[in-house]
Structure 1
Amino acid sequence: MTDVQKAAEALLAAYETGTPIPPLRGTVLPEGDVATAYAVQRAQAERWEAAGRRPVGAKIGLTSPAVQSMFGVFQPDFGVLYADMAVPDGAPIPAGKLLQPRVEVEVAFVLGRDLPHEQVTVVDVIRATEYLLPAIEVVDSRIAGWDISIVDTVADNASSGLFVLGTAPRRLADVDLRLCGAVVEHAGEPVSVGAGAACLGNPVHAVAWLATTLAAAGRPLRAGDLVLSGALGPMVPVPVTAAGPVYEARVSGLGSVRAVFEGSAR
């Protein structure tokens, strides 16, 4: 069994058992080998899709320069979004569904045109975007204690979990994404504050990067795809409580969306 297969099997087992695994870097996978980490991600995707799991787009991570410096990298990463990751706005997320959830506020792009070229520009993204939605990404990690490097998170489908979308679409032309403010509130108090400029200077830049990267890999973004463009503010850990926390995210010009977690005891 190759290192790619070993890493993919370990991550798939973590999904099945609900038990996090030790870091992959420096053991199963070489330190800093991002290309091999993407091969692990792809191996899992092929297994899932062969079993009928439906891809609906992609997510972008590591869009903040501060977070990039923590990982010693100078570009974002990406993962695959699947239909079964979608949670309706305000619908309960079952206790125990995720291992180590955290929430972050993002801008979701829904594409109306393909982005097939290997040098996608901001103009291409603007023309291709059908509408925007506010989003909460519920990130998760199959690596114990979130003890991750760039290799660990890329292999683990960019630490993906679930996502919640708002339901009132807005046109890109009506929102200045660079200047838009964002906040996540819990129990009426802000727990994460950010802005569009925190996401590679503008979420549109992040989508252009993703579209270029995926086209070069032979898997371009297509009309109808959903793109989670990256965090606008810091991630917030979700505590395990009997009551079950509720997070409301608001993005100026886009509206709000809620992630509701069921309690640990009912």
Structure 2
Amino acid sequence: MARRHKWLPDYSHLWDVMPEDALTRAIRARTYGHGRRDFPAVANAALLRIFAGRECLTVADLLAAAAAMQGPRGWSPSFAADYVGNLIGWGRELGIVEESSDGERSWRLIERSPVYEVIGGRCVRVRGLPDAEQVVMNRKLASLHRRRATIARAAADKVRRRVGGLLDRLSVVHWDAGIPAEWLVFLGDQPAGMQVKEARGFILAAHDDWEPAVTKRWLAEVEATVTAAERDAVVRREAAEAAAAAARLAEDADAFEGL
């Protein structure tokens, strides 16, 4: 039987390429996504997150958005810029984004609600339909979004319980632990300089709007921090016990010599 190989994307076009060049090339060429039937919906959702309520984004804005994605995902600057540029290119292709001709080069989000979504395993257009079709689609979307919201809340609560358990474990071995720098990659600068116990509420709610891949990396980071703290606590306890035992032996030796 012939072995089936998983297709892997080719990122050789990013070798020795600066982030801004990667961004503009991806906008022009749409570097990936052509073979994915769900990619219009994926790109649409990602664009809404990148614009985040803003009307237009310049090259500098897009590079800033790419930089913000690097840390939580472990991406290189050029890869992150390529990712954002590819989304803008797809947005133009799909009629979701248009380039502005006024002054500095920028791109405007035309539709602030999803135009494409995955429904029943298929990527479908959900906005800009004929009136009768749009009415039916709106009912489907309302039902779909209610189900998704319920599932998302359940998933967020599960993560919250897991992170809470990890924080409890950390408090046992290091009750006054400060927030590690590695956590700020995910949490941002707001809790910088605080102790974990002081920022507990903020930490437990931080993941609510994150993508699943980022949440997974966050859980792994918290788990690694707590495991290391527990391991260090064991080492300190064993060292203290060894020192106490050595001190008792020294006292016994002194007492014996005094007999």
Q: Give TM class, smaller chain.
A: under 0.3
Bigger CA radius of gyration: 2
**Hey, which of these two has a bigger chunk of strand by percent?**
1
Task: Give the TM-score normalised by structure 1.
Answer: 0.23
Q: Higher relative contact order at CA 8 Å, sep ≥6: structure 1 or structure 2?
A: 1
